[in-house]
Structure 1
Amino acid sequence: MTLTRRLFLLVGVVATVAGLAVVAGVSLGLELTDVFLGLVGALAAIQGLRYVQRRRDTTPNTTVTGDPEARISVPMPGSDFDDDLVSAAGRRTRWAARERVVDRLEARAKGALVARGGRAPEEAAALLETGGWTDDPVAARFLGASVSIPLRQRVRLFLSGRSSLADRAERTVAAIERVGTADDPAGERR
């Protein structure tokens, strides 16, 4: 500690003790006059300015918080099916992805026949094998039934300009949606 610092510390302690003594009523030969209060106020102002000046030279400490509005990436329902459908059109993953698409649609068709069509699981599997679950031959053949597609529909599929796999999958989804409704050719609910 430097000499000037010790001197300021001593003056500060003496002034504090003397101020407390005067306030407490101990008479030190000093009156609590306006001049004395002015000197104490000036000393307090100088000390405050000294602290402000010292604070200007320090770097502020800040905390970086995360963004409270950060959005979490949530997968969209059905996006994996769309990915399989897109990769089934590619050359490298064509057959594995096509099998995943067909297996998934077949499971959904069987589930729809059981849940909404009122069929037993064995009966639903038999309807899928024969193609009797729908009146759309494209959807029935896509799920493995040995149903012939009329030449007119083959030409229409060819001339549509769309991917044949995507068109067949779309028609199969539409046929699955019709299961158990008034448009269902496989029969009414039981």
Structure 2
Amino acid sequence: MTLARRLFVFVGVVATVAGFAVIAGVSLGLELTDVFLGLVAALAALQGLRYVQHRRDTTPNTTVTGDPEARISVPVPGSDFDDDLVSAAGRRTRWAARERVVDRLETRAKGALVARGGHAPEEAAALLKTGGWTDDPVAARFLGASVSVPLRQRVRLLLSGQSSLSDRAERTVAAIERVGTADDPAGERR
């Protein structure tokens, strides 16, 4: 303990004992005057400043909490289909991914023909085989129908600059969306 600290502790103890004595009514030859109150106030102010100065030098204790709004990653609907389209354009996984894309679109087309087109499941499968489910020959051929695509359409697909697989998949999705609507001549409602 340093000398200054000992002095402050001694003065504090003496002031505390003297204060309790005055409160108890013991007369130490001192009267409670303005001078005495001023000295006590000055001593309290010095002690307060010393305490503040001591707290300034210490590092504050803090607690680090986790982020209360941490986001959970949720899969985007259809992202696996997009991944299959991208991998179908690759060299290693081309055929397996292409088959997954075609199978998935064929299942959706069959479901749309049954749900919105008013066809029986067997009739929907027959329409998919013949290509009679849509008026778009590119979409019909993509799902396995033996329909010829006009030369003009082939040239347009070649010159579009887009992957032929993704272009055919987009046209097939658009044709599936039209099933059972007024835009679809082959899918009248029953």
Shift of residue 76 of structure 1?
Answer: 3.3
Moved more, 168-177 or 96-105: 96-105
Counterpart secondary structure, 1:156? helix
Closer, same or farther: CA 3–112 of 1 in aligned 2, 3 Å: same
Identity %: 92
Shift of residue 133 of structure 1?
Answer: 1.0
Closer, same or farther: CA 43–165 of 1 in aligned 2, 3 Å: same
Shift of residue 6 of structure 1?
Answer: 5.7
Closer, same or farther: CA 124–23 of 1 in aligned 2, 3 Å: farther
Closer, same or farther: CA 21–126 of 1 in aligned 2, 3 Å: farther
CA distance, structure 1, for counterparts of residue 184 and residue 63 of structure 2: 64
Moved more, 69-78 or 11-20: 69-78
Counterpart secondary structure, 1:62? coil
Closer, same or farther: CA 148–21 of 1 in aligned 2, 3 Å: same
In structure 1, the partner of 2:112 is: 112
Shift of residue 129 of structure 1?
Answer: 2.0
Moved more, 116-125 or 162-171: 116-125
CA distance, structure 1, for counterparts of residue 20 and residue 129 of structure 2: 102
**C-alpha RMSD over aligned residues:** 2.7
Counterpart secondary structure, 2:185? coil
TM-score by length of 2: 0.83
CA distance, structure 2, for counterparts of residue 154 and residue 176 of structure 1: 21
CA distance, structure 1, for counterparts of residue 179 and residue 23 of structure 2: 95
Closer, same or farther: CA 108–2 of 1 in aligned 2, 3 Å: same
Closer, same or farther: CA 96–26 of 1 in aligned 2, 3 Å: farther
Q: Which runs of 5+ in 2 are unaligned?
A: none
Task: Report the number of matched residues.
Answer: 190
In structure 1, the partner of 2:175 is: 175
Closer, same or farther: CA 121–14 of 1 in aligned 2, 3 Å: farther
Q: Which runs of 5+ in 1 are unaligned?
A: none
Moved more, 45-54 or 14-23: 14-23
Counterpart secondary structure, 1:99? helix
Moved more, 16-25 or 144-153: 16-25
CA distance, structure 2, for counterparts of residue 51 and residue 100 of structure 1: 75
CA distance, structure 1, for counterparts of residue 26 and residue 121 of structure 2: 102
TM-score by length of 1: 0.83
